[in-house]
Amino acid sequence: MTNSSLPQADSTLKPPVAERRSHRFSHHGVELDDPYHWLRDPDYPKVESSEILNHLKAENAYFEAHMAPHQPLVDALFTEIKGRQPVTEQSVPYPRGPHQYQWRYTEGAEYRSWYRAPLATPDAWQLMLDENELAKGLEFFKLGGMALSPNARYLSWSSDTDGSERFTLRIRDLDTGQDLPLSIESSYGSPVWAADNKHLFYTLVNEQWRPDKVMRHELGTDSSADVLVYQEQDEGFRVGLDQSQSDDYLMIVTGDHVTSDIKLLRSDTPKGPLVDMAPRQAGHEYSVDHREGYFYILTNDTHKNFRLVRTPEQTPGVKHWQPIIEASNEQYLTGHLAFRDHLVLTSRINGLDTIQLLQGEDHKITTLSFPEATYSVGLGSNAEYVSNKIRLGYESMVTPGTVYDYHIDTKRLELLKVQEIPSGYDADQLDTERLLVTARDGVQVPVSIVYPKNFPRDGSGKLYLYGYGAYGYAIEPGFSTSRLSLLDRGFAFAIAHIRGGDDLGYHWYEQGKLDKRTNTFNDFVDVAGHLIDAGYSRAGNIAIAGGSAGGELMGAVVNQAPKLWGAVAAHVPFVDVLCTMLDASLPLTAGEWPEWGNPITDAQAFDYIRSYSPIDQLKAGDYPPMLVTAGLNDPRVTYWEPAKYVAKLRYLKQDNNCLLLKTNMGAGHGGKSGRFDSITETAEEYAFILRCLGL
């Protein structure tokens, strides 16, 4: 199988060849050899081996040489996509206490600036934090968690400057505009202030990049005096912080992918005791909010789709939980927010996002309605505990991002903002639909698809098929300005809502994990087969893409059905599943066992993971054109996974199709930072796909 539409930059260009060095090890009586193990720097997370760095740089040079003839197309795509971004942009202000808050992009800015203004003088905006100033001279910048003290004087904020997701925490005095002489390394997540405006709670990560500690800092003291409030001993659990909508409670939230454990602390007693919401029980997931003397809890204790209960705050124990909405097979409860006078519930019914308002002591339900048959909707910035409005974010495959306020008293939606597309956009030129595809085991898999009105249905069309399918993350049928560059060139764009996500409920997630993981890959291939049979495209005319666990999906479906795909983009792909799950020293491995299985202790899990792990199932043969990306500082999918995968694939592939590896040497899991810098990578991917499909 040969695709010459993305030719080599010149006839002498040869791909880097990684040396094969035997590295043998055995588990459960099976001997394995990992000949590219040497690509993992033994000093990771430091990567200073000149041999490894030189190999990655050689791969980058090969990528650049391959793409050089197509730079005009990359530039054109970049200009198109950038042209759909407003030169300046600002969020809809939201109130909290005596101020309203807003972020802005100024002209040409890569990053946001954060402002506030007194409600009494709404035009007197004060700059709180300018990400552009903080990012000056840096290859990478990401703002982490931000939290305002209750008196609105102090802003705690954190930043990551290399993509490693190890954040440095600071505190800014908004009265002076200056940061306090405090710098706390290896923070993670959003901090939370106590009600006294003096104590700040934050999390720390350990050497394995697992957030396992909650610390308490007192203003005016050195960070060396900070007090350990909680430390998680289970290596599979990660710790985070949250705060009730009422601000009355701080919550220490620990858990893995299947179990929750929440400890409560009164915000007005920062040195008080922690109270357990419920005993830790494997498989019990729940979330908590608080209003007017009650805790409101979403829990899966009786049904995997969750139910809503409440209990007086004096008696948080499970035996006191009182049902409000019982669990059902039809409605999958996904979240809740407790205001003083009402409760908001988010859920999915038949895979469609639903927003419900619960009012009165009898919790009378009002279900909000929206103008389209299929869409994505969720809660926006709702910072006030007392409010007669609910801020919502709404979009669909053809409707740009839209901000609404739902007015509870009048039951109406107020339109506040529609995503601006300066270069123009006409939704009437597109059609969208939701299909159901019968997978090989008889299960109906939803597909969301959008395409130009003149899209052919004779199999000649080009199709971009996206999937993820892991961790119970649903891929919403949302809007993308970047996607328009493909639609404008005649593509159809489809999202396969495959098992492993929770698109259709918690059972949908369970049917794509552990010993059912291969359902995810089969679903994706079966969706592609159906779209071919229905005339949307043909084998070889389909581009596919996915990242992280979706990159694992890419590797698996390439192994299963290589002839279907005309181009593959695998971003930071989790392709070395077996070796990673066998290595408990890596940042995420222990916490991932509930998702993938523990091949160290479980021989069946070992055999099953090995049977689908993309790098382990590579064989000599023909493969489609592939673009693989990595981040040198990525703590989630370490750089050596895609590097090893590409090295092995190069060794085995028998075709002349291009195989490219691009490693971001100064970034992590999410690629480049900055709203325009990140567009470059999208433009490169699209150019790769267009050339591979002969456009």
| pLDDT, tens digit, 9 for 90 and up, residues 130-172 | 999 999 999 999 999 899 999 999 999 999 999 988 999 999 9
Contact 499, 508 (CB under 8 A): yes
List alpha helices for 540-613, DSSP H. Answer: 549-560, 577-581, 589-596, 603-612
Q: How confident is the model at residue 608 (pLDDT cuts 50, 70, 90)?
A: very high
Contact 406, 392 (CB under 8 A): yes
Q: How far is CA 74 from CA 78, 283, 308, in A?
A: 6, 47, 50
Mean pLDDT of 176-183: 95
pLDDT at 291: 96
- Which residues fall within 8 angstroms of residue 362, CB to CB, at 6 or more apart? none
pLDDT at 316: 94
For residues 223 and 169, give the distance between their C-alpha atoms in angstroms, rounded to a whole number.
11
- Which residues fall within 8 angstroms of residue 641, CB to CB, at 6 or more apart? 573, 574, 575, 576, 580, 615, 630
Mean pLDDT of 70-85: 96
**pLDDT per residue as tens digits for the range 16-25:** 999 999 999 9
pLDDT at 685: 97
Residue 342: phi, psi to the nearest 5? -165, 170
Looking at the domain that runs over 138-282, which CATH code has it been given? 2.130.10.120
Instruction: Write down the mean pLDDT value for the chain.
Output: 95
Mean pLDDT of 447-466: 97
- Which residues fall within 8 angstroms of residue 195, CB to CB, at 6 or more apart? 150, 247, 267, 268, 270
The CATH architecture of the domain made up of 24-83+424-692 is: 3-Layer(aba) Sandwich (3.40)
pLDDT at 8: 44
Domain ranges for the chain, please list them.
Answer: 24-83+424-692, 138-282, 285-419
What is residue 510's three-state secondary structure?
Answer: helix
Contact 229, 252 (CB under 8 A): yes
What is residue 693's three-state secondary structure?
Answer: coil
Cis, bond preceding 45 (omega within 30 deg of 0) = yes
Catalytic residue positions? Answer: 548, 634, 669
Q: How confident is the model at residue 262 (pLDDT cuts 50, 70, 90)?
A: very high
pLDDT at 673: 80
**pLDDT per residue as tens digits for the range 465-511:** 999 999 999 999 999 999 999 999 999 999 999 999 999 999 999 99
Q: How confident is the model at residue 11 (pLDDT cuts 50, 70, 90)?
A: low
Mean pLDDT of 625-631: 97
For residues 450 and 444, give the distance between their C-alpha atoms in angstroms, rounded to a whole number.
19
Buried b (16+ CB within 10 A) or exposed e, 113-148: bbbbbeeeeeeeeeebbbbbeebeeebbbbbbbebb
- pLDDT(191) > 60: yes
| The 260-266 sheet, strands edge to edge | 238-243, 249-255, 260-266, 275-276
For residues 289 and 259, give the distance between their C-alpha atoms in angstroms, rounded to a whole number.
18
pLDDT at 514: 97
Tokens linked to 408: 């509870």
- pLDDT(9) > 50: no
Neighbouring C-beta atoms of residue 508, cutoff 10 Å: 25
For residues 569 and 371, give the distance between their C-alpha atoms in angstroms, rounded to a whole number.
34
Instruction: Give yes or no on whether 138-282 and 285-419 have one common fold.
Output: yes
For residues 374 and 369, give the distance between their C-alpha atoms in angstroms, rounded to a whole number.
11
For residues 226 and 220, give the distance between their C-alpha atoms in angstroms, rounded to a whole number.
11
Q: How far is CA 45 from CA 164, 166, 237, 366, 499, in A?
A: 8, 11, 21, 50, 33
DSSP string, 383-414: --SS-SEEEEEEE-SSS--EEEEEETTTTEEE
Domain 285-419 has CATH 2.130.10.120: yes
pLDDT at 6: 59
Contact 477, 442 (CB under 8 A): no
Contact 624, 657 (CB under 8 A): yes
DSSP string, 294-358: EEEEEE-SS-TT-EEEEEETT--SGGG-EEEE---SSEEEEEEEE-SSEEEEEEEETTEEEEEEE
- pLDDT(1) > 50: no
pLDDT at 418: 97
Mean pLDDT of 93-106: 96
pTM for this prediction: 0.94
Q: How confident is the model at residue 2 (pLDDT cuts 50, 70, 90)?
A: very low
pLDDT at 186: 94
Q: How far is CA 480 from CA 236, 283, 505, 682, in A?
A: 35, 36, 25, 12
Long-range contacts of 113-120 (CB under 8 A, 24+ apart): 114/146, 116/152, 116/174, 117/93, 119/95
Mean pLDDT of 517-523: 98
Mean pLDDT of 366-383: 94
- Which residues fall within 8 angstroms of residue 14, CB to CB, at 6 or more apart? none
Long-range contacts of 595-602 (CB under 8 A, 24+ apart): 595/257, 595/470, 595/471, 595/513, 595/514, 596/513, 596/514, 596/517, 597/514, 597/515, 599/27, 600/27
Mean pLDDT of 543-572: 98
- pLDDT(312) > 70: yes
